């Protein structure tokens, strides 16, 4: 189903790499994407995203699109986070609300406890005193990981952070305090997907 | 200057990890971020971002914020991409247009050639016939890398893709054709930053 089922590890010498064959842009029809039914049936990655009181409809839609791309198991929309259908979510989700499984929950804290009772590890994405830096986080289990992304201004509440199993932080080196929340979700999903993929494709 | 100058590699056993010390959220004042002057003077990563005809002001602002967080050398705003100051860029950039170096260029194609003449490698982020998948892309040089992100609908033009040195693709497995452009930029910057960081911290 994928165009790159067993893409070999390429060590790219950017001084002397044959690039003549890589440059024809693909039409959308050549991308071999899934349809919605195919998406529902395909095996998902053991990743859940929790949007904790997200204000921006653009951000919500953008997270749906990321979740579609990386076969995320489920998105939970909590507190003030708006739910589909909504035209401003659709504008950035571009239909990904049809493919990705989602559910609204009033209380993020209760959801965290439910998921833990269900044997998931719940991981806050926050800046905290002894947070683990994302690049130092190695996956050693195929247990389901549920990542909590917090409000654009207040982040994840201390109460929810305290209830989580782990706190992960995206290291940042500039003048600003945080990344845009849909960018944070993209970074975390890509990082975890890469690590899952590396484990799967590792030679025994 | 950083809170985590030599963060040791942690192998996290998510079943038995002592997490009691990691959960206190930090105040903004505890994050030890740079001020604008500090940002201007600090050594940057060998990464340039090229925004090729980006329509959305939200996306432009969000890319500035990502560039600030990961000490990007410069952003080029090309074609119809709007330039600061603009209130809708500021709304997502949150001041990162003050720290990150940027320049407007009318022609993306001419910019690609200028950067190549200046010994940078220019890398289109696109879906192309034999594109290298991002997770297969290993950095083997500290040459400056300039990544081109294209228009929200049309992507990077074939003419510009053909002029680039390499085409990199973010693998995607769902129903949609592409990620939001500010998410794509976040994913690429995080991936490349992680690989640079891994090289820097590798034991000899």
ipTM for the complex? 0.90
Distance from CA of residue A182 to its chain's centroid? Answer: 9
B65–chain A Cβ distance below 8 A for any pair: yes
B133 belongs to a structural domain: yes
Peptide bond preceding A85 in cis form (omega within 30 of 0): yes
Q: Is the dihedral of CA B189, B191, B197, B199 positive or negative?
A: negative
Q: CATH code at B197?
A: 3.40.1280.10
A63 belongs to a structural domain: yes
- Domain carrying residue A193: 45-201
Which residue of B7, B14, B26 is in closest CB contact with A143?
B14
Tell me the whole-structure pTM to 2 decimals: 0.90
| Residue ranges for chain B with pLDDT beneath 50 | 1-16
A15 belongs to a structural domain: no
Q: What is the pLDDT of residue A95?
A: 86
Q: What is the pLDDT of residue B12?
A: 47
B103 belongs to a structural domain: yes
User: In the beta sheet, which residues pair with residue B121?
Assistant: B145
A5 belongs to a structural domain: no
Instruction: Show which of residues 36-55 on chain A sit within 8 Å of chain B, judged by CB atoms.
Output: 36, 38-39, 42
**Which tokens belong to A126?**
């926050």
Cα of B182 to nearest chain A Cα, Å: 7
Chain B neighbors of A99, CB-CB under 8 A: 174-176
Strand order in the sheet with A72-78: A102-105, A72-78, A45-52, A145-149, A121-125, A166-169, A132-133
Q: How many domains does chain B have?
A: 1
Distance separating alpha carbons of residues A92 and A63, to the nearest angstrom: 9
A120 belongs to a structural domain: yes
B33 belongs to a structural domain: no
Peptide bond preceding B85 in cis form (omega within 30 of 0): yes
Distance separating alpha carbons of residues B114 and B75, to the nearest angstrom: 15
Distance between terminal CA atoms of chain B? 25
Burial class (CB in 10 A: 0-12, 13-18, 19+), B17: middle
Give B141-197 pLDDT, tens digit per residue: 778 999 999 999 999 999 999 999 999 999 999 999 899 999 999 999 999 999 999
Cα of B106 to nearest chain A Cα, Å: 23
User: In the beta sheet, which residues pair with residue A169?
Assistant: A133
B153–chain A Cβ distance below 8 A for any pair: no
Q: What is the pLDDT of residue B17?
A: 52
Distance separating alpha carbons of residues B137 and B192, to the nearest angstrom: 9
B65 belongs to a structural domain: yes
**Which tokens belong to B190?**
């995080």
**Which tokens belong to A117?**
């009772």
Integer angstrom CA distances of residue A167 from A46, A164, B178: 18, 7, 29
Q: What is the pLDDT of residue B202?
A: 79
| Residue ranges for chain A with pLDDT beneath 50 | 1-16
Instruction: Show which of residues 73-92 on chain B sit within 8 Å of chain A, judged by CB atoms.
Output: 92
Local structure of A188: helix, strand or coil: helix
């Amino acid at each position: 189903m994928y165009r790159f089922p067993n893409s070999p590890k390429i060590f790219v010498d950017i001084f002397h790499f044959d690039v003549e064959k890589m440059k024809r842009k693909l039409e959308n029809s050549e991308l071999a994407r899934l349809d919605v039914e195919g998406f529902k049936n395909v095996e998902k990655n053991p990743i859940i995203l929790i949007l904790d009181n997200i204000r921006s409809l653009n951000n919500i839609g953008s997270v749906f699109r990321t979740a579609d791309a990386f076969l995320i198991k489920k998105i939970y929309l909590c507190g003030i986070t708006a739910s589909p259908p909504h035209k401003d979510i659709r504008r950035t989700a571009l239909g990904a609300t049809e493919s990705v499984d989602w559910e609204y929950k009033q209380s993020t804290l209760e959801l965290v406890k439910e998921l833990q009772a269900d044997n998931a590890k719940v991981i806050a994405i926050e800046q905290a005193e002894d947070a683990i830096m994302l690049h130092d986080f190695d996956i050693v289990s195929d247990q389901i990981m549920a990542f909590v992304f917090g409000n654009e201004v207040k982040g994840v509440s201390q109460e929810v952070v305290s209830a989580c199993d782990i706190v992960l932080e995206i290291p940042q080196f500039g003048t600003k305090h945080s990344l845009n929340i849909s960018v944070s979700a993209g970074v975390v999903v890509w990082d975890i997907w890469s690590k899952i993929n590396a484990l799967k494709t590792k030679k025994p």
